[in-house]
């Protein structure tokens, strides 16, 4: 399966990564681990911690979008339809860390 992750900031694509992975068997289930999005969010959240006001945090979150497209890259298919497309928009919640 190939995962194309696109990161958008203020409506413009700022990053894109393609990862091709084979499933691993974990607890009798096939599991995929796409690492780019994990690395991106780790860096993004570290950057958020450096902001000083809720307004800055709101701007950073509400202007971030992530789109992931998962495709079967089996060579038997010429132009397969995506298996799954996920889009994420973000906003600050009302909860706390406790």
What phi, psi does 58 have (nearest 5°)? -60, -45
Most confident of 13-17, 40-44, 88-92: 13-17
Q: What is the pLDDT of residues 2-31, one digit of tens each?
A: 999 999 999 999 999 999 999 999 999 999
Give yes or no for residue 37 having a pLDDT over 70: yes
Helix (H) or strand (E) holding 55: helix 54-62
Position 98 scores a pLDDT of 64
For residues 91 and 12, what is the distance between their CA atoms, to the nearest angstrom? 18
User: 80 vs 28, which has greater pLDDT?
Assistant: 28
CA dist 62 and 91 (Å) reads 5
CATH architecture designation of domain 2-89: Distorted Sandwich (2.70)
Torsion of CA 28, 29, 35, 37, to 10 degrees: -140
Q: Mean pLDDT in the chain?
A: 90
Q: What is the pLDDT of residues 64-76, one digit of tens each?
A: 999 999 998 876 7
């Amino acid at each position: 399966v190939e995962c194309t992750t696109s990161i958008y900031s203020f409506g413009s694509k700022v990053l894109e990564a393609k990862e091709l992975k084979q499933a691993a068997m974990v607890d009798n289930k096939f599991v995929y681990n796409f690492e780019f999005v994990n690395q991106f969010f780790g860096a993004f959240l570290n950057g958020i911690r450096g902001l000083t006001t809720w307004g800055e945090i709101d701007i950073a979150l509400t202007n971030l979008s992530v789109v992931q497209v998962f495709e079967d890259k089996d060579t038997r298919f010429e132009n397969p339809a995506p298996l799954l497309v996920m889009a994420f928009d973000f906003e600050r919640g009302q909860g706390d860390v406790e």
